[in-house]
Structure 1
Amino acid sequence: MKKTIFALFCLSVLSSVSSFAFQGDLDQGIYELNRGAFKAAINEFEPLVAQEYSPAQYQMALIYLNGYGVKKDPNKAFELLSLAASQNHPDALFSLSLMYSDGVIVKKDLKTAFALMERAAIRDSVAAQFNLGVMYFNGTGTYKDYPKAARWYETAAKQNYALAQFNLALMYFEGLGVEKSVEMSFVWNIIAASNGYENAGKSRDMDSLKLSNVEIAQAREKADRLYQQIIEQAELKAKQ
Structure 2
Amino acid sequence: MMNKLSLASLTLALSLSSLSGVAADLKSGIYELNRGQFKAAMAEFQPLLEEGYAPAQYQVAMMYKNGWGMRKSLQKSYELLSLAADQNYPDAQFELALMYTEGEPVEKNSKKAFELTKKAAEKGLASAQFNLGVMYAEGTGTYRDNRKAVREYEKAAKQNYALAQFNLALMHFEGKGTEKDIIQSYIWNIIASRNGYQPAESSRVLDERKLPVEEIKKAREEADSLYRNLLAQAEIRAKNSQ
Q: Normalised by the size of structure 1, how large is the TM-score? A: 0.93
Structure 1: segments with no counterpart, 5+ residues: 1-5
The residue number in structure 1 matching 2:28 is: 28
Counterpart contact for 2:29–2:45, Cα < 8 Å: yes
Go from structure 1 to structure 2 and tell me whether the alpha carbon gap of 1:98 and 1:12 turns closer, same or farther (over 3 Å shift).
farther
2:115 paired residue number: 115
Correspondence list, 1:83-102, <5 A: 83-102=83-102
Corresponding residue of 1:170:
170
Q: Percent identity?
A: 56
Corresponding residue of 1:54: 54
1:218 paired residue number = 218
Q: Does 1:68 align with 2:68?
A: yes
- Note the 1:74-85 alignment, pairs <5 A: 74-85=74-85
Q: CA deviation at 1:15?
A: 4.8
SS of residue in 1 equivalent to 2:150: helix
Count of aligned positions: 237
Task: Tell me, yes or no, if structure 1 residue 191 matches structure 2 residue 191.
Answer: yes
> How far has the Cα of 1:236 moved from its partner?
1.7
After alignment, is 17-26 or 170-179 more displaced? Answer: 17-26
Could you give the per-residue CA deviations for residues 90-141 of structure 1, whole angstroms, max 9, x where no partner exists?
Answer: 1101100000111110111111100000111111111101111001100110
* Partner AA of 2:206 in structure 1: M
Match of 1:3 in 2: none
**Residues 174 and 37 of structure 1: CA distance in aligned 2, closer, same or farther (over 3 Å):** same
In 2, Cα distance between the equivalents of 1:122 and 1:9?
34
* Partner residue, 2:134: 134
Inter-partner Cα distance in structure 1 for 2:86 and 2:237: 25
Verify: 1:38 aligned to 2:38, yes or no.
Answer: yes
Deviation at 1:70, TM superposition (A): 1.7
Show structure 2 runs of 5+ residues with no match. 1-5
* TM-score in terms of structure 2 length: 0.92
In structure 2, the CA distance between the partners of 1:16 and 1:144, relative to structure 1 (3 Å rule), is: farther
Listed one character per residue, the Cα deviations across residues 143-166 of structure 1 (whole Å, up to 9, x for unaligned) are: 001011001101000110011000
- Correspondence 1:1-12 to 2 at 5 A: none
What secondary structure, in the 3-state scheme, does the structure 1 residue paired with 2:211 have? coil
- Greater CA drift, 13-22 or 124-133: 13-22
RMSD: 2.0
Counterpart Cα distance in 1 of 2:226 and 2:234? 12
Instruction: Give the C-alpha shift of residue 7 in structure 1.
Output: 9.9
Q: Is the 8 A contact 2:166 2:192 kept in 1?
A: yes
What does the per-residue CA deviation read over 1:10-64, in whole Å, with 9 as the maximum and x for residues that have no partner? 8776554332211111111111112221111111101100011111000111111
